[in-house]
Amino acid sequence: MDDGTVGIPAELAVFLGASTPETWVDAAADPAALPLMLVDHANCEKKAASTALAMLFRYEEHEELTERLSRLAREELRHFEQVRRHMRLRGIEWRRVPASRYASGLAEVVRQREPGRLIDRLIVGAFIEARSCERFALITPRLDDDLGRFYAGLLASEARHFQHYLELARGFAEDDLEARIADIRAVENRLATEPDQELRFHSGPPA
């Protein structure tokens, strides 16, 4: 595509703080990296659905939380199916791809005691969705028309998911939520911007 007008909501960019390095965009948009990126993206969508379902079962006493997570899980699974469709159209076979350090690095900051654990998991979910949204916007102008339209469409969904996670976190927070967001942001920014050994959808730029 040669349309460079795709952008992300200002609120989302402010929430992220640090932007994805251009070197990551160059590497991820390289046609030679497309099979790897689509497989990893499919894994990310599957993991997002799994995370939402796990939280749904863990916190089933919270009605609004479970309703939102149920809808989110359905959307993530639909995105997983759509990514697999694009893989089939391009003759890309499924293969096992280890995840980047991003998700595990964010999991390490989650507190173990409730309600801190729930709040942190929701904040982490907001960051993952926000970073996905940003990266969809960054790579869309570099892709072919069909795949570019797909990623441009995903951007709106991921922006909604970001909002859902953040609104839910605010609903459960008893202390200064902004301070906790800032703590997790510092970790997320490091994971998303520092050089990485493996190129993935949520990795840092190649070392």
Phi, psi of 196 (to 5 degrees): -125, 150
Token output for 132: 């996905």
pLDDT 10s digits, 60-95: 999 999 999 999 999 999 999 999 999 999 999 999
Question: Do the beta carbons of residue 137 and residue 4 sit within 8 Å?
Answer: no
Q: Where are the alpha helices (DSSP H) in the chain?
A: 10-16, 22-28, 34-58, 63-89, 101-107, 116-139, 145-172, 177-193
Tokens of 170: 């605010």
**148-163 pLDDT per residue, tens:** 999 998 988 888 999 9
Residue 85 three-state SS? helix
- Mean pLDDT on 163-183: 93
Do 190 and 18 contact (CB within 8 A), yes or no? no
| DSSP-derived 3-state class of residue 206 | strand
Q: Which two tokens stand for residue 171?
A: 């609903």
Q: What is the C-alpha radius of gyration for the chain, rounded to an integer number of angstroms? A: 16
Mean pLDDT of the chain: 93
Q: Is the pLDDT of residue 1 over 60?
A: no
DSSP state of 94: P
Q: What is the pLDDT of residue 6?
A: 63
pLDDT of residue 8: 78
